[in-house]
Amino acid sequence: MNQDAKNAIPALLKILDPAQTTWDNAVTPFQLAPRLHLMLADIDAGSHTPTLVSNVLKWHKDKPEEANALWASLGASNDRVVELLDRLDQTAKQDPVAYDAAIEKASVVPASKWSSSDVVTDLLIQIYQEFSAVRHHLREMSRLSQVPIEPEEQTRLLDACLAVPGVLMSGVPGGEPR
């Protein structure tokens, strides 16, 4: 870890402190349903986040109606993904045998080929579709703000990840200040 990253850690921890009151978000417990795994990859060639953020905020200031509409759509899709993931976890707890059977079946087929056959698979399909909407909104924000939030190279990589059997979602998680 370089010195800049080490110096940033105390500031980041202060911002992420649940007692922080300057944010308008609520901290709520969250867990993935059984057999789902979150995987992150570092390509070690990220963007300069502060520059990208300032350019998006400039677009937001210059075109607030356009930006607010897209922001609202993106926020609604993100909220829906969280809601669906929570429903998936609750469904797994209510009927673990049916849940395991559906996950086993889904794990050997790309998400784009899943077909509605039970409650669990229906939830997986809804999550896949809603996260696709999240990515669509981010690509639209990229286009409108002229900021590479999801550059074409990463779109191809993310789409290739989604073609792997059992992958539910893939996205660009963000960047780190350089």
User: pLDDT tens for residues 152-174?
Assistant: 888 999 999 999 999 999 998 76
Question: Which residues, in sequence order, are CB contacts of 153 under 8 Å at separation 6+?
Answer: none
Q: Domain ranges in the chain?
A: 48-162
Task: Answer for the pair 83, 133: CB distance below 8 angstroms, yes or no.
Answer: no
Whole-number Cα distances in Å, 15 to 92, 131, 136: 34, 27, 29
| pLDDT score, position 29 | 84
Backbone region of residue 174 per phi and psi (left: phi > 0; alpha: psi in -120 to 50; beta: other values)? left
Identity (one letter) of the amino acid at 124? L
| pLDDT score, position 175 | 47
pTM: 0.83
Distance CA 166, CA 138 (A): 23
Give the 3-state secondary structure of residue 138: helix
Is pLDDT at 178 greater than 50 in this prediction? no
Distance CA 161, CA 166 (A): 10
Whole-number Cα distances in Å, 66 to 29, 78, 142, 146: 33, 19, 13, 14
